[in-house]
Structures are given as C-alpha cells and as structure tokens.
Amino acid sequence: MKFATFSLAAFVTTVSADNYFNITSAPFRLFLKSDNTTINGTALGGCHQGAAIEGLCLTNQRPQDPATWYTTFTHNVSASAVSNATDTQGILAFTLPINGGQEVPSAMQLSINPTSNIAVPIIYPGYEQYSIVQFDESGSLYIAAYQNDFASPPESPSPPWKIYEWYVCLTRWSYLYETLAWKVGMDSHAPPQNPSCQKVEVFRIYI
C-alpha cells in the first residue's frame, strides 16, 4: 500500500476550489468501530489510487498514535453553515502533499459501479467532484437520505434519514486494497455482494 507523497513530474493541474465549501472544520482523523478486533479502533488513511488520486485504506494508527498527513481530514461546509456543527452538510476534504512543498486540496466522492452495490470512496484533486457527508452528535459519519423510494410515489423524510452503510472490503479501483466502502441503498437487510465486506462505523476524533 502506498502512502508516499505524489510527484508532479507527469501531472500538471490547476486546482480551483469550489467556493461554496469554503469553511473548514478543525482537522480530525477517521477511526473504525468494528466487531473485528484487528481493525477496531484503527484509522483510515489516504492511499495511492492514481495521479493525485487517493483511496481510503486501513492503517495501523490508533488514537494514541500521532496523526500523519495521510490520516488527517477536514469537513468543509458552506459559509451559511457552522463549522464543526452536528448534522451539517459538507465534503470530506483532504490535503495531498506533493514534491516541492506544494499541497493539493482534494475531496472524497463515492465511485459507483452500476454492476455492484458497493461504492468505493475516492479522493480527487480539487473540490469539483465530491459526495455530501455529515457527522452526527456522536461524531459518526453518515449520508443523509432526502428521498424514500421504498414508497410509491417516493416521499421526502422529515427530518432526513441518517444512513450508516459503511463497510471495509477488499476492493479493486486501480489497486487491490482493503478500503472503506459504502453499500448503496437503504435496505439494511440487503448484504453487500462483495463477500469480503465487514460492517463498520466511521467516527472522527479531532486532532
């Protein structure tokens, strides 16, 4: 697994941050809560998936260990929202260091495969590609459901439902890694079709 800094030798880009998500939370790490004692309490970290593109892989870091650049994230929200607040819409942001001391601001987007019910979180440079995520009162990461299509016609839950379909799975986006994954849909009884998947909760601890 590769946590090395990225070289710009064959990659040149201009990062234009989306001004909508211009309020940055305090930095934090993302940890797993799992029935599997091997991964329970370990941090997620950015891992190489392509040119300035990262995945969210398992690391051996635990809360007592010092934070590193690849396990440090922020939750960027709009100017109309309150930074660090509970249940606030925002993007999971990450800063990728590159050779020469520069930094590439990046954001997480779920990569959907139409033939799978598992989506892989991928961190892309810039803030143009992203998935909206939120944190609840206990610091757990979730995605809000604003439409219930179990009903016909579809309904809008009020308040929106909090969905926590996070898993750790052996995935292959560009590389074969054990990564964070999202089970698409809201049916908690429908298993991931990837047999390696293990149910987890993802929560943040501020640095």
pLDDT one-digit tens code per residue, 26-60: 999 999 999 999 999 999 999 999 999 999 999 99
Q: Is residue 11 part of a domain?
A: no
Q: Is residue 10 part of a domain?
A: no
Q: Is residue 5 part of a domain?
A: no
Read off the amino acid at residue 94: F
More confident residue, 4 or 37: 37
Q: Is residue 160 part of a domain?
A: yes
Ranking 25-29, 62-66, 100-104, 198-202 by mean pLDDT, the lowest is 100-104
Mean pLDDT of 154-183: 97
Task: Give the Å distances, CA to CA, from 104 to 4, 46, 65, 154.
Answer: 14, 13, 25, 40
- pLDDT for the residue numbered 6: 43
- Cα–Cα dist 117/100, whole Å: 40
Q: Are the C-beta atoms of 117 and 182 separated by less than 8 Å?
A: no
Strands 166-172 and 176-183: antiparallel
Domains held by the chain: number: 1
Q: Is residue 48 part of a domain?
A: yes
User: 1: pLDDT confidence band, cut at 50, 70 and 90?
Assistant: low
| Residue 16 in this model has a pLDDT that exceeds 80 | no
Read off the amino acid at residue 41: G
Mean pLDDT of 169-198: 96
What's the CATH code of the domain at 42?
A: 2.80.10
Q: Are the C-beta atoms of 59 and 44 separated by less than 8 Å?
A: yes
- Cα–Cα dist 106/84, whole Å: 19
- Cα–Cα dist 26/206, whole Å: 7
Q: Is residue 1 part of a domain?
A: no
pLDDT tens profile 61-82: 999 999 999 999 999 998 777 7
User: 177: pLDDT confidence band, cut at 50, 70 and 90?
Assistant: very high
Contacts of range 150-153, beta carbons closer than 8 Å, 24 or more positions apart: 150/186
- Cα–Cα dist 27/13, whole Å: 25
Across the chain, mean pLDDT equals: 90
Q: Are the C-beta atoms of 41 and 200 separated by less than 8 Å?
A: no
pTM of the model: 0.89
User: Which structural domain range is residue 99 located in?
Assistant: 19-206
- pLDDT for the residue numbered 15: 39
Q: Is residue 9 part of a domain?
A: no
Mean pLDDT of 12-29: 71
Q: Is residue 4 part of a domain?
A: no
User: 98: pLDDT confidence band, cut at 50, 70 and 90?
Assistant: confident
pLDDT tens profile 129-140: 999 999 999 999
User: 148: pLDDT confidence band, cut at 50, 70 and 90?
Assistant: very high
User: 18: pLDDT confidence band, cut at 50, 70 and 90?
Assistant: low
